[in-house]
Amino acid sequence: MIRCKRAYESPTHEDGRRVLVDRLWPRNCRKEALQLEQWHKEVAPSSELRRAFKRNELDFEAFRERYRQQLAAHPEHWWPLLDMAGKRERLTLIYAARDEEQNNAQVLAEWLEEQLERQDEQNSPPCYAAKNPS
């Protein structure tokens, strides 16, 4: 139920709840055109991490790992998004990066999906092996 979409793509009904997850506002985008429900800039990677990745000082895997560490250190930043996604509504994370596969929104979506799976595992009833009568 979580998807990622570039800020420069037109909004559609299928997007559901649209949340901008970049620290900076996308260039040349008017607020009305983005049709956002919210802007969660605090969930974005730190400015230092974003700059290092943009300058190619970090490859995507290093960026991904450091960003995940930042997410783990500040759950209060992503809990509201997890709550939205947990309601089983479509949540679209909006980002401005050119690369559609290697960006912060993709890492965040993966992180949120993992957190939802953990919640589901914790809330599911225990599974007992059926006793085999002998």
Structural domain boundaries enclosing 93? 2-123
Q: Is residue 128 part of a domain?
A: no
In a domain, 8, yes or no: yes
Confidence of residue 126 (pLDDT cuts 50, 70, 90): low
- Is residue 131 one of the residues assigned to a domain? no
Mind listing the pLDDT tens digit for each residue in 66-95?
A: 999 999 999 999 999 999 988 777 999 999
Q: Which two tokens stand for residue 105?
A: 């929104």
Please check whether residue 35 lies inside any domain of the structure.
Answer: yes
pTM for the full predicted model: 0.87
Provide the pLDDT for residue 122: 80
Identify whether 28 is part of a domain: yes
How many structural domains is the chain composed of? 1
pLDDT at position 120 is: 78
DSSP string, 82-102: HHHHHTT--EEEEE--S-SSS
- Which is it for strands 38-39 and 91-95: parallel, antiparallel or unpaired? unpaired
